[in-house]
Amino acid sequence: MKHKEQIFYIIGALVLLGVLFFGFDIFPSSTKALEKSRALNTQEYDISTYQAEAKASLRAEDIKYLETLEAQVQHAGEDSAKINVLKQLSGYWYQLQNPIMAGLYAKEIASSEETAISWSIAGTTFASGLQQNLDDKQEEFLRDEAVDAFEKAISLEPKVIEHRVNQALCYIERPAANEPMKGIQMLVGLTNSYPESPLPPYQLARLAVKTGQYERGLTRIEQALALDPTNARIACLAIDIYTALNKPEEAKALEGICAQQQ
């Protein structure tokens, strides 16, 4: 129990940092799927109606711990005390690999705090489910909630490009049926609107590699390198691209920087 009591929203913060700089590739793709027996519309997802089903496959000790936290929320007097417990709930659901419940609690926190960082954490928490094996309704819900959360973060911090990059990545991970290229188009637009930032070209390079378009990836990664030549993650991706294109000297020149990646 002592270990569980130490589970706070730092999980969400770490998720946020990873997504802000490097995209959704930090999330495990092999996590077990959520219960798929229910096809709900977006508006039907809320904590009270979804939590019973979400708990159905949990261990008794997990259910007991969650119900203890839920009781604490009901009896929390000050807003700060309530938010602290909500953060523990969000973090624990995230540990249980349920991005819907984790995101719903993160959204409740953000609605109370109304800060860009809270909305960004809510967005990345929802977005963490976009690489899990969920059904279409769930993925669409997660994407739409993540996009909405990032939009709120943008409204509070309109000059911060990270929120906009994350929003574009949501559409890339789960494309809109009527606009399948929307995420890519958003990143291209950000590359033009924020020419000083390496994030959009880095993401475009990463996506080019995923589809085997190494020549196109080379253009983008060299653009990112020129903007941030000491970034280890950018350097490592550049090495992959140079190696695939048989450019060993260029790849070797970046080995020292890539080695700094933790």
Which domains, from first to last, does the chain contain?
2-195 (no CATH), 198-262 (1.25.40.10)
CA 65 to chain CA centroid, nearest Å: 26
pLDDT value at residue 44: 60
pLDDT value at residue 210: 94
Cα separation, 109 vs 103, whole angstroms: 10
Apex 125 CA angle, 119 and 130, nearest 5: 125
8 A C-beta contact, residue 130 and residue 173: yes
pLDDT value at residue 6: 39
> Which is it for the CA torsion 232, 164, 111, 90, positive or negative?
negative
In whole angstroms, how far apart are CA 251 and each of 5, 205, 207, 256? 46, 15, 19, 10
In whole angstroms, how far apart are CA 24 and each of 62, 82, 128, 226? 27, 30, 7, 23
8 A C-beta contact, residue 78 and residue 23: no
Place of tokens 């953060």: 87
Cα separation, 210 vs 149, whole angstroms: 27
Positions in the chain short of pLDDT 70? 1-44, 262
For residue 225, give both structure tokens. 């390198």
End-to-end CA distance of the chain: 30
What amino acid is encoded at 195 in this protein?
Answer: P
Strand partners, 257: none
Length of the chain: 262
